[in-house]
């Protein structure tokens, strides 16, 4: 089965491929010790909105085990959680097994098993269920059949997507932090440049931070449900959609949200092409409108180091064409995304333009030469510095 990764109205369309499809009469939402989710199977939440299984992105040979949201009304299909972000598996014989001690692992042909939970988060009498809220929860059970404790859950190991009920923040006793990190690019789920963290220093302040870009939402005013730097949220209409809550105690501090009208909201910390903005299912942006580049006057962009050679009216634009001859630097580091590359170029006074090294958006080429119009044989797109 083929499909597309969308946010509503198609702002982000990432194609992915399910590697199996559940026979609906056997669809289940739970696995128990001794059982497995086979390569060609999926777990399906009771309401049918969430599915867990193996998929690939853009038909590449790499397989990921993860959770997808399926919205029939708009045919929205969103990858909301990935177990093996930086460790894709190859081949068609991978399984996720739950051993008799309750350990969940991706078993694959060419490497060590990839654990989902740790030994401390496993118990013999346990089961893992994909819930209707999009959480895959491993629970330990008492003799009388009641729940003893939650051992592990995907809500505690979020990737780039925030669903109602998920937390951003920190547990001071365990040291556990809840944060989001973007994909490197729309084809590479490994953690990229942007992270979203909850900074609780002043009665709770949420801010977007990254290796290179720095943005803050400004203080959350819980009483009127607004952030200083997110102007559109002040509209009364959004109070019916988002209910933001801050929980702060000696043991933990976190930000979470619920959706009073019961509709699902999906907040995705976008990968590089969208500059690490947090975007909801209706394309509303919780973040700066462009890249905070150190001299950006956008609300929430922190004034950061801008090299003396750069001025405030400089920006990069995507242009069709090519660079001819001249100096050139290629960094094949596949952990670098587009915004990392922008930063390298921005901070290098002899850099005139940049591009990814590979078609999947990783690596960085810096170019220090003038720009030529596209030739008939070449209409390659280069994001290029305008002076
Ligand atoms: C294991 O859990 C089930 C509920 O799933 C419960 O009925 C049973 O008593 C438990 N067994 C033990 C040994 O705790
Ligand atoms: C990205 O592309 C490079 C070059 O084609 C390839 O070696 C690498 O495996 C790709 N990474 C992923 C995660 O697809
Ligand atoms: C949190 O915000 C304050 C300003 O309110 C800032 O001084 C501090 O550096 C921030 N902390 C982190 C970890 O970003
Ligand atoms: C918002 O969430 C808080 C905490 O969960 C809850 O007490 C409150 O009733 C909610 N408000 C609305 C309007 O749903
Ligand atoms: C909630 O969902 C219903 C349909 O499921 C839709 O008609 C309604 O407009 C949605 N409300 C909001 C505020 O998004
Ligand atoms: C990302 O940032 C760059 C540089 O500021 C800008 O040209 C581009 O339009 C931004 N893209 C989006 C989707 O905001
Ligand atoms: C590759 O890039 C990442 C992200 O910037 C960095 O942490 C890592 O050290 C780089 N690796 C090498 C070999 O330079
Ligand atoms: C520049 O990057 C785009 C997107 O990855 C790619 O299509 C194009 O081929 C690249 N150009 C070169 C010269 O690598
Ligand atoms: C700066 O960019 C130029 C032109 O691409 C390149 O030759 C040089 O190696 C770069 N310097 C650094 C430190 O990245």
Q: Using an 8 Å Cβ cutoff, are 73 and 6 in contact?
A: no
Q: Mention every residue, 6+ apart, whose C-beta is less than 8 A from residue 381.
A: 318, 319, 320, 355
Q: Tell me the per-residue pLDDT of 239-272, one tens digit each, with 9 for 90 and over.
A: 778 898 888 888 999 999 998 877 788 888 887 6
Instruction: Identify the residue whose C-alpha is closest to ligand 1 atom 6.
Output: 145
pLDDT the model gives residue 382:
53
Q: Ligand 1 within 6 A of 141 CB?
A: yes
CB of 361 closer than 6 angstroms to any ligand 8 atom: yes
**Residue-averaged pLDDT of the chain:** 81
The verdict on the CB of residue 199 being under 6 Å from ligand 3 is yes
Ligand nearest to the CA of 291: 6
What does the pLDDT read at residue 286?
A: 83
pLDDT at 344 over 80: yes
pTM over 0.85: yes
| Distance, CA of 154 to CA of 258 (rounded, Å) | 17
- pLDDT score recorded for residue 16: 66
pLDDT at 221: 80
Which atom of ligand 6 is nearest the CA belonging to 317?
7
Closest ligand 7 atom to 333 CA: 1
Give the residue whose CA is nearest to atom 2 of ligand 7.
335
| Tokens 């390569």, located at residue | 39
Q: What is the pLDDT of residues 146-163, one digit of tens each?
A: 999 999 999 999 999 999
Higher-pLDDT residue of 383 and 155 is 155
Ligand 2 and 362: CB distance under 6 A: yes
Range 63-84 average pLDDT? 80
pLDDT band, residue 46 (cuts 50/70/90): very high
- 343 within 8 A of 212, measured Cβ to Cβ: yes
pLDDT for position 167: 96
Kindly give, in sequence order, each residue whose CB lies less than 8 Å from that of residue 102, ignoring residues fewer than 6 positions away.
33, 117, 122, 123, 124, 125, 126, 138, 140, 151
Return the ligand number nearest the Cα of 357.
8
Instruction: Calculate mean pLDDT across residues 37-54.
Output: 92
Q: How confident is the model at residue 276 (pLDDT cuts 50, 70, 90)?
A: confident
Q: How far is the CA of 335 from the centre of ligand 7 (A)?
A: 6
> Which residue, chain included where needed, has tokens 């499909």?
3
| Cβ-based burial of 336 (10 A; exposed 0-12, middle 13-18, buried ≥19) | buried
315 touches ligand 6 (CB under 6 Å) = yes
Ligand with the closest atom to the CA of 179: 3
How far is Cα 332 from Cα 357, in angstroms, rounded to an integer?
A: 6
More confident residue, 200 or 100: 100
Name which of 384, 319, 373, 387 is nearest 345 in CA terms: 384
Across the range 320-337, mean pLDDT stands at 80
pLDDT of 119 strictly over 80: yes
* Ligand approaching nearest to the C-alpha of 56: 2
**Where does the pLDDT of residue 171 fall: very low under 50, low under 70, confident under 90, or very high at 90 and above?**
very high
The distance from CA 177 to its chain's CA centroid, rounded to whole angstroms, is 16
């Amino acid at each position: 089965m083929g499909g597309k990764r969308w946010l509503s109205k198609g702002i982000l369309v990432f194609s992915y491929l399910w590697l199996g499809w559940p026979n609906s009469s056997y669809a289940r939402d739970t696995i128990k010790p001794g059982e497995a989710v086979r390569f060609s199977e999926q777990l399906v939440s009771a309401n049918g909105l969430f599915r867990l299984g193996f998929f690939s992105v853009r038909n590449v040979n790499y397989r990921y085990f993860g959770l997808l949201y399926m919205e029939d009304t708009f045919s929205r299909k969103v990858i909301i959680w990935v177990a093996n972000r930086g460790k894709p598996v190859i081949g068609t014989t991978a399984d996720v097994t739950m051993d008799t001690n309750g350990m969940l692992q991706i078993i694959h042909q060419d490497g060590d098993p990839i654990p989902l939970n740790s030994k401390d988060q496993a118990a013999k009498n346990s089961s893992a269920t994909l819930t209707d809220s999009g959480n895959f929860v491993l629970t330990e059970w008492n003799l009388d059949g009641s729940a003893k404790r939650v051992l592990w859950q995907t809500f505690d190991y979020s990737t780039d997507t925030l669903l109602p009920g998920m937390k951003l923040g920190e547990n001071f006793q365990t040291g556990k932090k809840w944060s989001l990190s973007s994909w490197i690019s729309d084809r590479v789920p490994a953690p990229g440049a942007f992270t979203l963290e909850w900074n609780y220093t002043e009665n709770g302040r949420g801010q977007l931070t990254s290796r290179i870009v720095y943005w803050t939402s400004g203080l959350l005013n819980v009483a009127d449900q607004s952030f200083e730097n997110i102007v559109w949220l002040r509209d009364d209409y959004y109070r019916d959609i988002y209910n933001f809550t801050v929980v702060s105690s000696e043991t933990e501090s976190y930000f979470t949200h619920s959706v009073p009208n019961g509709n699902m909201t999906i907040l995705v910390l976008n990968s590089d092409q969208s500059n690490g903005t947090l975007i909801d299912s209706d394309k509303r942006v919780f973040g700066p409108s462009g890249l905070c580049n150190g001299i950006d006057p956008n609300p929430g962009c922190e004034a950061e180091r801008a090299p003396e050679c750069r001025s405030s009216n400089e920006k990069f634009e995507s242009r069709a064409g090519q660079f001819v001859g001249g100096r050139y630097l290629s960094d094949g580091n596949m952990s670098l995304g587009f915004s990392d590359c922008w930063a390298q170029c921005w901070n290098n006074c002899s850099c005139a333009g940049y591009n990814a090294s590979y078609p999947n958006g990783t690596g960085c080429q810096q170019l220090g030469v003038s720009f030529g119009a596209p030739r008939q044989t070449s209409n390659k797109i280069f994001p290029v510095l305008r002076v």
